[in-house]
């Protein structure tokens, strides 16, 4: 019932018709609290956006970050705009496009689940991101693609596909207006290679492809492709991209030539399978413009596969809003786009989502920027946060704890904090807590930094959003158990070779930490080599992303100094007990690494071959709860 109340509050704030007649709904209600100004001074963008005949605003990997980044430690203020601010930005940009008489599309590349309390903080019996997606559905997206985080749990996938009436999981008569996600977008939510099975029938979660016309009459053929993901739940399927492009429906979809192809998808624009899709299209249409909007690796990236295409990836967590422009010929019907073989003029930009950025690019002041529609979305999100009790405070963090900015181990490391927190959290109501143990988890389960000040339910979920369980193998000799962590982290040549296989497996299951941290490391390394510290001081630059990609010109909208970077291990553990090598101990580990850990354990000792039959449940405490329990004990 509490979950239904949350939906009702969200609906009261943002219920709107598909034609987005928002002003009539909310008038000029400014009664709720609103951050009229960012919490600290922010630099404005360095230059105006370049508008062309076709323009795209792009989001991806939002993961529930719809209330913006609210902490005061940099780089958080750079991303302090909430989804209501973004809605107002979109409204003004659409108006500018009409004034300039050009096309402007809004595109998303997936991963709406798993990341903040708005998506993950629902009471028992709910479905992840159902409530937060109601706000996402209010924006006039022209095209959306499914992400891998929509597929880890079958009910989440089902919620993206079928109506509340069909689900019967959280429906009441009063809530039938909450249609499922895909139908809201009238054939524009795409899952070209992703199916769901319902009552024994496999069908696309959304649509395989879409064909539509822009406001200016340009004909578009669009696809929505997911990378070769293997971590999906039962009764969902992901077809390999190489197989998808051989399908008869694919050939039929691309047979007729549009003015341009719009390929959105949850797949990195670099080092993945977009060339398979691109080349399949190029084999039929060698000159038609192709625009690719990717995602998944959480980085800012851009490249051009040829002179008549551009591929853009726009970061994560609403820390980036992407911009692409392309100078296309006027629409003249089929065949017009390929009449020229000249290179197309493209631009791209990575915007920091905050009110300073939004106001600069829309030409609005602080008191003329907000729209009634944007205000209502902000208010609805704040109401949802209240109903989910996201401001509940576990304790007060004494200082910032970061993933990569601080070395591991150190007092400022989130990983060190987690290693300390596990024994504390697992000691509650646990008859085995007094027995010696080693507790292991993967560092990739920690998804965000913790900042000084109140540590809330929302902070708990942003830092550790995955509800993984903890298992254990009893009576493992200490020497063997103590050898598992270094082996997991690839201490020797054999382990490193094995780690490459493991990395490929983790990538297929959805782990993106390696690609993202490699990007941060390269950013910091390059800056150090260029003597960045003195240059930053002279330019008075704040911390943020400093992007180098394969497209011409400078991509970042606002210049920054990069964050400090320290390498971290893939796996961390609690302190080892001071016992003899042959002492039997509990080897505790997160269930996400179960098969990997058994293989490692059997490789570091030969006295026993361990199997899944040796594994037991260690605690009822889930990974999402560890830091909150610790904070209640240590930070009060």
What pLDDT score was predicted for residue 500? 74
Calculate ∠ Cα 549-551-553, nearest 5°: 95
CA dist list (Å): 198 to 154, 155, 249? 10, 11, 21
Interhelix angle 493-509/513-529, rounded to 10 degrees, is: 110
Residue in 27, 37, 22, 24 with CA at minimum distance from that of residue 367: 37
* Three-class SS state of 326: strand
Question: Which tokens sit at 253?
Answer: 């979809």
Residue in 365, 294, 297 with CA at minimum distance from that of residue 507: 297
What pLDDT score was predicted for residue 6? 44
| 472 Rama sector, left if φ>0, alpha if ψ -120 to 50, beta otherwise | beta
Q: Which helix (H) or strand (E) holds 346?
A: strand 346-351
The rounded distance, in Å, linking the Cα atoms of 445 and 443 is 5
Q: DSSP letters of 288-309?
A: S-EEEEE-SS-SEEEE-SSTTE
What pLDDT score was predicted for residue 7? 45
Q: What is the mean pLDDT of each run of 10 residues along the chain (636 residues)?
A: 42 39 34 54 96 98 97 96 98 98 98 96 92 96 98 95 56 46 95 96 97 98 98 98 98 98 98 98 98 98 98 98 97 60 97 97 94 97 97 98 97 98 94 96 94 98 94 98 94 55 86 92 93 72 96 96 94 97 98 93 96 97 97 96
Question: Which tokens sit at 356?
Answer: 């300073």
pLDDT digits (tens, 9 = 90+) for 175-185: 434 457 999 99
The rounded distance, in Å, linking the Cα atoms of 533 and 516 is 23
Residue limits of CATH 3.60.21.10 in the chain = 51-366
Query: Do residues 440 and 589 lie in contact, with contact meaning Cβ atoms separated by under 8 Å?
Result: yes
Question: Which tokens sit at 430?
Answer: 């646990």
How many C-beta atoms lie closer than 10 Å to residue 561's C-beta? 21
What pLDDT score was predicted for residue 490? 85
Q: Bridge-partner residues for 301, per DSSP?
A: 313
Q: DSSP letters of 398-443?
A: SS-BBSSSS-SSSTTBHHHHHHHHHHHHHTTT-TTTTS-EEEEEEG
Is 636 buried (19+), middle (13-18) or exposed (0-12) by CB count in 10 A? exposed
Please give the class, per CATH, of domain 51-366: alpha beta
Residue limits of CATH 3.90.780.10 in the chain = 393-489+569-634
Residue showing tokens 């690494």? 593
What pLDDT score was predicted for residue 334? 46
Q: Which helix (H) or strand (E) holds 221?
A: strand 219-226
β-pairing, 309-314 vs 346-351, is unpaired
The rounded distance, in Å, linking the Cα atoms of 358 and 329 is 29
Residue in 460, 381, 387, 391 with CA at minimum distance from that of residue 133: 381
The rounded distance, in Å, linking the Cα atoms of 189 and 470 is 36
What pLDDT score was predicted for residue 531? 81
Sheet bearing 236-238, strands edge to edge: 201-204, 194-198, 236-238
What pLDDT score was predicted for residue 333? 60
DSSP 470: E
Query: What percentage of the chain's residues is helix, strand, coil (to nearest 5)?
Result: 35, 20, 45
pLDDT digits (tens, 9 = 90+) for 10-49: 443 443 433 333 333 333 333 334 445 666 889 999 999 9
Please give the class, per CATH, of domain 393-489+569-634: alpha beta
What pLDDT score was predicted for residue 179? 57
* Three-class SS state of 395: strand
């Amino acid at each position: 019932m509490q979950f239904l109340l949350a939906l009702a509050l969200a609906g009261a704030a943002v219920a709107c018709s598909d034609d987005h007649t928002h002003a009539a709904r909310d008038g000029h209600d400014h009664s709720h609290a609103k951050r009229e100004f960012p919490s600290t001074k922010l630099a404005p963008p360095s230059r105006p956006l370049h508008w062309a005949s076709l323009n795209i605003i792009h989001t991806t990997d939002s993961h529930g970050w719809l209330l913006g980044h609210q902490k005061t430690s940099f780089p958080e203020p750079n991303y302090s705009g909430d989804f209501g601010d973004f809605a107002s930005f979109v409204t003004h940009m659409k108006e500018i496009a009409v004034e300039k008489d050009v096309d402007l599309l809004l595109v998303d590349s997936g991963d709406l689940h798993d990341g903040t309390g708005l998506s993950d903080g629902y009471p028992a019996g709910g479905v992840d991101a159902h409530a937060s997606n109601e706000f996402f559905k209010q924006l006039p997206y022209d095209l959306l693609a499914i992400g891998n985080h929509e597929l880890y749990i079958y009910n989440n996938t089902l919620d993206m596909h079928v109506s509340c009436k069909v689900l019967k999981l959280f429906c009441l008569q009063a809530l039938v207006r909450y249609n499922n996600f895909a139908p809201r977008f009238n054939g524009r939510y795409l899952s070209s290679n992703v199916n769901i099975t319902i009552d024994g029938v496999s069908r696309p979660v959304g649509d395989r492809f879409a064909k539509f016309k822009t406001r200016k009459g340009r004909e578009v053929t669009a696809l929505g492709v997911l990378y070769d993901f293997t971590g999906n739940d039962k009764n969902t399927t992901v077809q390999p991209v190489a197989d998808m492009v051989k399908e008869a429906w694919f050939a039929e979809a691309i047979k007729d030539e549009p003015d341009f192809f719009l390929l959105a998808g949850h797949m990195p624009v670099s080092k993945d399978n977009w060339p398979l899709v691109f080349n399949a299209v190029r084999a039929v249409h060698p000159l038609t413009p192709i625009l690719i909007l990717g995602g998944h690796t959480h980085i800012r990236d851009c490249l051009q596969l040829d002179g008549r295409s551009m591929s853009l990836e726009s970061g994560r967590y609403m820390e980036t809003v992407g911009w692409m422009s392309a100078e296309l010929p006027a629409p003249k019907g089929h065949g017009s786009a390929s009449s020229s073989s000249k290179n197309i003029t493209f631009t791209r930009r990575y915007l920091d989502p905050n009110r300073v950025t939004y106001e600069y690019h829309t030409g609005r002041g602080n008191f003329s920027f907000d729209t009634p529609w944007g205000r209502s979305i902000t208010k609805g999100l704040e109401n949802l946060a209240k109903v989910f009790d996201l401001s509940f405070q576990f304790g007060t963090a004494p200082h910032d704890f970061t993933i990569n900015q601080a070395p591991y181990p150190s007092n400022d490391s989130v990983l060190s904090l987690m290693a300390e927190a596990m024994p504390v959290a697992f000691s509650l109501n646990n008859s085995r807590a007094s027995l010696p143990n080693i507790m292991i988890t993967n560092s990739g389960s920690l998804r965000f930094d913790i900042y000084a000040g109140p540590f809330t339910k929302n902070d708990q979920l942003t830092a550790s959003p995955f509800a993984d369980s903890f298992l254990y193998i009893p009576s493992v000799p200490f020497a063997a158990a103590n050898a598992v962590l270094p082996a997991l982290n690839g201490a020797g040549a054999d382990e490193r070779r094995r780690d490459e296989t493991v990395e490929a497996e983790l990538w297929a299951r959805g782990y993106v930490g390696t690609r993202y941290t490699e990007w941060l490391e390269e950013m910091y390394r390059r800056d150090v080599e260029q003597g960045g510290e003195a240059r930053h001081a002279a330019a008075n630059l704040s911390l943020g992303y400093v992007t180098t990609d394969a497209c011409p010109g400078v991509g970042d909208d606002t210049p920054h100094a990069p964050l400090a970077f320290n390498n971290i291990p893939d796996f961390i553990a609690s302190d080892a007990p001071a016992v003899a090598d042959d002492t039997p101990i509990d080897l505790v580990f997160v269930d996400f690494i179960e098969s990997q850990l058994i293989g490692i354990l059997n490789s570091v000792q030969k006295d026993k071959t361990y199997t899944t039959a040796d594994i037991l449940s260690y605690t009822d405490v889930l990974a999402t709860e560890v830091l909150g329990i610790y904070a209640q004990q240590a930070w009060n």
